[in-house]
A and B are shown apart, each in its own frame.
Chain A
Amino acid sequence: MSIDSVSTLPQNTYPNVRVSATGLELWRGDRCLFNDLSFTLNLPVLHVCGANGSGKTTLLKVLCGLTITERGNVTWTHDKRILTTGEVRGQLAYTGHQEALNPALTVAENLQWGAGLYRELSNDEIQQATEEHQLDSLTSLLACSLSAGQKRRVALLRSVLSHVPVWVWDEPYANLDAAGVEWVNALIEAHVARGGCLILSAHQKPAINPEQVQTLGLTS
C-alpha cells in the first residue's frame, strides 16, 4: 500500500492547522491529571504517550473541546489565524475508544452518517473507499456483527472519508493485526504528505519518519 494509491484522500493539500495549549489544569475527583500543562505543536504529528490512567484520552478530548479544563486554554491556529470553536469543529475528525458505529445500522450506513457529518458524499464514493481499503466485504454487514479490529478499521476509514485536515485518533492501533498496523501507518503517511495534522495517543510510536513526530509524554 504505497502512498499515492490512497486515492480516497482529497487530491488538493490540506491547510496547515496546528494546536497549542497553555496552562491546562484538570482534576478528576481527587486526582490531578494535568497541572499547568503547556505545549505547542509545530510538527504534523503529535504523539501523546504515557502510562495507563495518565490522562491521554482526556487530553485528546480537551484538545477537541469536548472536555472543559478548570484553567488554561487550547488554541487552534490555521496559518497563524486563530480558529473559533465553531470553525474547529468542521476541521477535526475524532475517533475515540468507542468506534461510534450504531449496531443496528450496516457499515455503509454508518459511514454515510459518520462522514456525512463533515461533507456531502454519495454511496458509490463509500463503495469505492471500502473497496480500496479491503473493507468492501463488510459494507452490507450490520455493525454489531463486526470484530473489534474490523470496527476499528471502519472508524479510521470514517476519518479518511471526511476529508478534514486534523485527525484526532485515540489508540488507533488497538485490536489491529499486523496488516492493520501497516495500513494505519500508510494512512498517516498519506495524510501527512497532504499537509494534514494528526494527534494520536498510542503506546507505540507511529512507524513514519521521526522528524515529523512530536512526542508529548504524560506522567500520571
Chain B
Amino acid sequence: MNELSYRRAFSLQLRKELTQLGRRYGSVLTPLLFFAVVVALFPLSTDPSPQRLATIASSAVWVAALLAAMLAQQTLFRGDFEDGSLQLMALSALPLWLQVIAKQMAHWLVSGLPLVLLSPLAAYSLNMAPQGYTTLMVSLLLGSLSLSSLGAIGAALTVSIRQGGLLFAVLVLPLMVPVLILGTQATELASKGDNAAGLLNMLVAICLLSVTLSPFATAAAIRVSLD
C-alpha cells in the first residue's frame, strides 16, 4: 500500500501549478491589467477633481481588486477539467481538499498577491491619503485570500457547466459582501487617520473561517462536477 503523506500531496500539486502558471506570463498580467482598467474607469466616469476622487478611492480600488481576483479565479479548475487531470486528482489516494488548497495557493500567489502589492499605486492615482495604504494592503491581502477560498467553491461548482463564468459571478459575489464592506470601511477609516484595527480583526476572522472550511466544500463540489 502506498504511504499517504500530506506534504507530498501539497508540494506535488503546488509544483505542478507553479510551473504551469510560470509558463504563461499571461496568467499574471491579465488580472493586473483588468484591475488597472477598472480603476481607470472610475475617474473617467465622474469629474476627476482630487477631492471628488478621494471620496470614492477606497471603494473603487476594492471593487476593481475584487473583480480582477474573481476573473482570475473563474477558470481555476476549467483547464484541469477539460484535459482530465481533475479526475486523476479525485481518484488519487492523496486528499483532494489538500490538493485544492495547493491549487488555490498557487493561483493566489500568481494573481492575488500582485494585486495586493500594486493596490497602493491605484490608490495613489485616485488621490487616497497615503496613511491609508498599509491598511489597504492588509485588508486586500485578507480579502483576496477569502475570495480565493470562496471563489474556489464557485469555480468547482460551475466547472462542468458550459457558460459557467457568469453563473460563477452570481454565486460568489453575494458571499463576498461582508469582506467588501469591512475592507472598504477599514481603508476609509485609515485614510482619514482613524484606527481601523477593529474592522481588520473581523476581516481576519472571516478570512480564517473561509480559508479553513472552504477546501472541504470545494472537494465535495469537484466530486459532484465529475459525476
- Chain A residues near B (Cβ < 8 Å): 64-68, 86-87, 89-92, 94, 96-105, 109, 113-114, 116-120, 164
Binary CB contact string for chain B from 184 to 227 against chain A (1 if under 8 A, 0 otherwise): 00000000000000000000000000000000000000010011
Residue of B nearest to A101 (CB): B83
Chain B residue total in the interface (Cβ 8 A): 29
In the assembled complex, B84 has its CB within 8 A of some CB on chain A: yes
In the assembled complex, B23 has its CB within 8 A of some CB on chain A: yes
With A113-B12, A116-B12 in contact, is A89–B92 under 8 Å at CB? yes
With A67-B227, A98-B83 in contact, is A117–B88 under 8 Å at CB? yes
Interchain CA distance A53-B164 in the complex, whole Å: 26
Interface residues of A, dominant DSSP: loop
B91's partner among A89, A98, A99, A119 (CB-CB below 8 A) is A89
A90 and B2 contacting across the interface, CB-CB below 8 Å: yes
**B136 → chain A closest CB, angstroms:** 33
Residues of A within 8 A of B92 (CB): 89-90, 117-118
Residue of A nearest to B224 (CB): A68
A120 and B8 contacting across the interface, CB-CB below 8 Å: yes
Interchain CA distance A90-B9 in the complex, whole Å: 13
Residue of A nearest to B13 (CB): A113
CB-defined A-B contacts under 8 Å, sample of 9: A66-B226, A66-B227, A99-B83, A100-B83, A102-B16, A105-B16, A114-B88, A116-B8, A117-B89
Residue among B20, B23, B79, B88 having the largest count of chain A Cβ atoms under 10 Å: B88
A99 and B19 contacting across the interface, CB-CB below 8 Å: no
Interchain CA distance A191-B1 in the complex, whole Å: 17
Residues of B within 8 A of A90 (CB): 1-2, 4, 92-93
Interchain CA distance A103-B78 in the complex, whole Å: 13
Interchain CA distance A12-B31 in the complex, whole Å: 51
